[in-house]
Structure 1
Amino acid sequence: MKRKQVAGWSAVALISLTVIILIAQWSRTIPEVAVFISYYRGTTALPEGAPVGLPAWLGWQHFLNMFFLLLIIRTGWIIRSKERPPAFWTRNDEGFLKYTGPAQRMGIYHWFHLCLDFLWVLNGIVFMVLLFATGQWMRIVPTSWDIFPNAASAALQYASLRWPMENAWVNYNSLQVLAYFVTVFIAAPIAIKTGLRLSPIWPKQGWLHRVFPEDLARKLHVLVLFYFFIFIVAHVTLVFTTGALRNLNMMFAANDGTSWLGAGIFGLAVVVMVVGWLLAKPSILKPIARLSGKVQG
């Protein structure tokens, strides 16, 4: 995307955000809206027996998700740009993949994208097992219809820059619950399913090929890519504007304090992510890719 286009879209986003804030602040002066917010404060009660606090394993999961998604979005954007790859990879016809059809040549970033997808899915499986084994699922799965008006109330409070009263260590607000639920149980499965459809593993003929057209899969895959990007931007923004030290401690240090421990761990995580970003270049990827196939270019 050219600099002028980036500047143009940035200006549109800034103007739109300003308009939304002004409308939200004005709407809160309407008596009916004020009554609505006073009744639906933005948080729905959790089921009985729901765990309190965030365990340490969730912090590790959070870091791994950040790391993999950052590189997945980067490589996905490179693939979407349709620039000629600096190198091409062709798999060895050995192991399970030899039964999926003739080996296909793909760009080195496409190969890296698929490798990252595999690691991200593996991490997601571990996350799901621990989520349901520890009862943490009750914190991100809606269990009451009240969640929708409460989510609307929380969204209005955020938009008006008057944050909803909350205690994420005990219970996420309803807007957070819906966002996490959509991300974990809807967006992630769509990304996996469409990614499989676009990968060499998917059959090139037969009923599976016909019922899920490649063009539809590609459009959904790009759509979910943008969803994750918007989610990350909104998530990071709110983490740093609604009590950064406490939020980072909850997310990375498994405590409800305001020390600098969580911020320090987050800083180390950012360093690892930056190093990963810098190392994800052809001169580093090609020797690794040669371990599983032939690299040309």
Structure 2
Amino acid sequence: MSTSTKSPTGTKSRWSKIIWISPTAIAALFLVVLLAKWLREVPGGQSFLADFPGHTELPEGAPVGLPAWLGWQHFLNMFFIVLIIRSGWLVRTTARPKVYWTRNHTGLIRTKNQPTKISLDLWLHLTLDALWVINGIVFIMLLVATGQWVRIVPTSWDVVPNAASAALQYASLNWPTEDGWVNYNSLQLLAYFTTVFIAAPLALITGLRMSPLWPTKAQTINRIFPITAARAMHFPVMLYFVLFIIAHVTLVLATGALRNLNHMYASSDEGGWLGFWIFAASLVVVIAAWLLAKPIFLQPIASLTGRFSR
């Protein structure tokens, strides 16, 4: 009886929150747009936009264009991060996993005398994390080797007022002129820098701290970096990635979709649909991986390094 009476109330409460939050968010967004438009009209705002157009000049000799390897890296990062978010959400919300995985005693990593039993979702999450980290290391090495790092790493302090200028232009719905083939605007630059060099390492270190791979006997470092701190940071970092993906995809599609997709997937500044079709194919691969990430398909792979129990 208690279950049947609480369930409708809980559902009603959730819907009530949605009903109140949605118009509040729309009203807040409307006010932000009006404020941004007003700021653009006043003399101080016009002077600020004239002094800081929204982008910083790149160092002399900076590369122009996006190489093919960057397109592959973009796809792999999208592939891994989407599945990492999915598996991480399942780890967080699944109270009673149906399948557990225990590594073989002959595994390369030995963290305890006895192997730790973990859910299959956590095994997938950790496996994807490892592949994502390897891909990230390759990505940073290529950024440095090809000079592409200057496009996503601030090289002068005027990136801050220029980012504020770009944010004001976006908020006023009179968006900054885009030319990602040559140079990102400063708000994009800071967003990419934060994602690659701050959010990704935070996700890695907090996830590693919560994983069975972390050394439990390292008392000093465990006292400095307790698992409670890792848990408090790991979920917000995941939310950051979700918000980044939403904003990134929205702006890619809203600021010249075909040209942006050609930049990202076809390594070309020309017109046409090649980038779109490559993107569409990559989206099919990600969706297929999402749908196939189930125990029946994961167990044959996971069995190569461990055994299962329920």
Partner of residue 285 from structure 2, selected from 261, 266, 272: 272
In structure 2, what residue type is equivalent to 1:293? Answer: G
Counterpart-to-counterpart distance in 1, 2:58 and 2:300:
50
The one-letter code of the counterpart of 1:240 is: L
The equivalent of 1:154 in structure 2 is: 166
Aligned residues: 297
Counterpart of 2:225 in structure 1 is 212
Tell whether 2:89 aligns with 1:77: yes
SS of the equivalent of 1:28 reads: helix
1:10 to partner: Cα distance: 4.8
- Return 5+ residue gaps in structure 2 as ranges: 1-9
CA distance in 2 between counterparts of 1:158 and 1:194 reads 33
Q: What residue in structure 1 maps to residue 257 of structure 2?
A: 244
Counterpart selection for 1:113 from 97, 106, 125 = 125
Partner of 1:290: 303
The answer (yes or no) to whether the contact 1:43–1:166 under 8 Å persists in 2 is no
Moved more, 211-220 or 20-29: 20-29
Structure 1 position 85, deviation (Å)? 1.2
In the other structure, the counterpart of 2:152 is 140
Within the alignment, does 1:281 sit opposite 2:281 as a pair? no
- Structure with larger Rg: 2
Quickly say closer, same or farther: Cα 1:36–1:183, change in 2 above 3 A. Answer: same
The aligned amino acid for 1:120 is W
Q: C-alpha offsets along residues 109-152 of structure 1, whole Å, 9 cap, x if unaligned?
A: 11100010011001001101100000000111101111100000
CA distance in 1, matches of 2:223, 2:204: 18
Counterpart of 1:89 (choices 96, 101, 108) is: 101
Q: 1:111 to 1:149 in 2, by over 3 A?
A: same
User: Is the counterpart of residue 171 in structure 1 residue 159 in structure 2?
Assistant: no
TM score, norm. by length of structure 1 = 0.95
1:37 match = 49
**What fraction of aligned residue pairs are identical, expressed as a percent?**
57
**Aligned counterparts of 1:124 and 1:295: Cα–Cα separation in 2:** 30
Distance in 2 (alpha carbons) for counterparts of 1:33 and 1:230: 28
Normalised TM-score (structure 2): 0.91
CA distance in 2, matches of 1:100, 1:142: 43
Q: 1:146 to 1:117 in 2, by over 3 A?
A: same
Aligned to 2:5: none
Alpha-carbon offset, residue 90 of structure 1: 1.0
Distance 1:142 1:272 in 2: 34
Q: CA deviation at 1:30?
A: 1.8
Indicate yes or no: 2:240 matched with 1:227: yes
Note the C-alpha offset of 1:100: 4.4
